[in-house]
Structure formats: C-alpha cells, structure tokens
Amino acid sequence: MESKKVSQKLLSRLPLYLNYLKGLPEWVVDVSATKIASALNLGDVLVRKDLAKISDGGRRKLGYERSSLIRDIEEFLDVNSTTCAVIVGAGKLGQALLDYNGFEKSGLRILAGFDIHPSVQKTDGGKPLYSMARLESFCHCYDVRIGIITVPAEFAQDACNSLVDCGIEAIWNFSPAHLRVPDHVVVQSENLAVSLTSLRMQLKNRS
C-alpha cells in the first residue's frame, strides 16, 4: 500500500495494534477492527479508520487476515530498517536502556553510552560507555541519527546541545527538562512525572 501522511496519534496507536496482533494465540487467523478496539479499549470507528489507512486487506464480515495486517503495519512503520542511536547519561536509567533488547524490534539500535565521567567501561550487557569527548567522532563514524538523554534535568540542555552539534536529528528526552532545539530537530519527551500525576489523579477520582 502506498505510504500516506498520517497523524501522530495514529502513529502512536500502530505499535499498540502490532503488539496486540502478535500476542494473539497462534490459531487466530482473522481479526476484526471491533475485536482489536475492544481489547485495547479504543473506539470501534477509530480503529476501523486507522486500519483502512495502512492496509488494503479488510474484508467485509471477516475483517483482516492477521498475518497480512501485521506485515502491513510493519511495512508502514518501517521496522525492518534500523536507525542508530547513542545515549548521553550513563547512570542506571541510561544503562537500563542500553541493555534493553526490545528496541531493536522497533528498528532502533543503541550503540553506546556517553557520560562526563563514565564509572565503568561497559554495561553489564556489554555495551560500551565513553567519555563525552568522543561523542562527535563516534556519531559521525556510525551515522547516529537519534540521541537519547538520560542525564539529570540541570544538565539536559547541555547534553541536547552537544547532540545537536554532532548532527543528531532526533532527541528522545528522558529528563524532565523542557529542551530547546533548532527547527530541524525532533524531540520526544518521556515525562514520567506527568504520567505519574495522571495515574495519581485517576486513583483520586475513583476513590
């Protein structure tokens, strides 16, 4: 299917669909938008429209063939190409992300961690940790396009500036800082305090 421009929100739902489809028992051959919607607590119409945008395989009453739908979503998400990343901030969170194997399935290869003073030379999983002085040559040498920031908030903007100076095009920010970047750089922030507050408020509204 020809690639179309789709919304960020749709993009964020596709990995959920993929995760659900892959997690179904092996004997499940066909799957409907309604079933996916109900399993993921999403609207029926929303899922139907999403799937129609990325796959031609929908059949009246039968729904989608599971394996084709998985293939269509994966093609759309381009999971078979790999983007290289580095992490700035080699503390526990940085090392946890470096050693997490699950990102490769989503097309991300995290090559190394960088820190002002790395306390060790390798993570438990064997990923190298370097001093910041090596960041620029490393990024150029390995065509690194994504920089992941896991330093404390007060150092995050500096880390971000260093990555941008090295030609990084996308920042995945795990610090709570609000980062300023040039227009050509994409930022995605994982603000855990925001998620946490949302969870606490849901808890409060229920009790």
Specify the long-range contacts of residues 82-85, CB closer than 8 Å, at least 24 apart: 82/107, 82/108, 82/109, 83/107, 83/108, 83/109, 83/145, 83/146, 84/109, 84/111, 84/142, 84/143, 84/144, 84/145, 84/146, 85/109, 85/110, 85/111, 85/144, 85/145, 85/146, 85/147, 85/148, 85/172
Q: Please list every residue from 27 through 86 that binds its own copies, using CB under 8 A.
A: 39-40, 77-79, 83
Contacting residue, 1, 2, 16, 64, with its own copies by CB under 8 A: 16
Contacting residue, 33, 139, 146, 181, with its own copies by CB under 8 A: 146
Residue 196 interacting with its own copies (CB under 8 A)? yes
* Distance in Å, CB of 106 to its own copies, minimum: 5
* Distance in Å, CB of 184 to its own copies, minimum: 7
* Distance in Å, CB of 52 to its own copies, minimum: 18
Q: Please list every residue from 91 through 120 that binds its own copies, using CB under 8 A.
A: 91-93, 95-96, 99-100, 102-103, 105-108
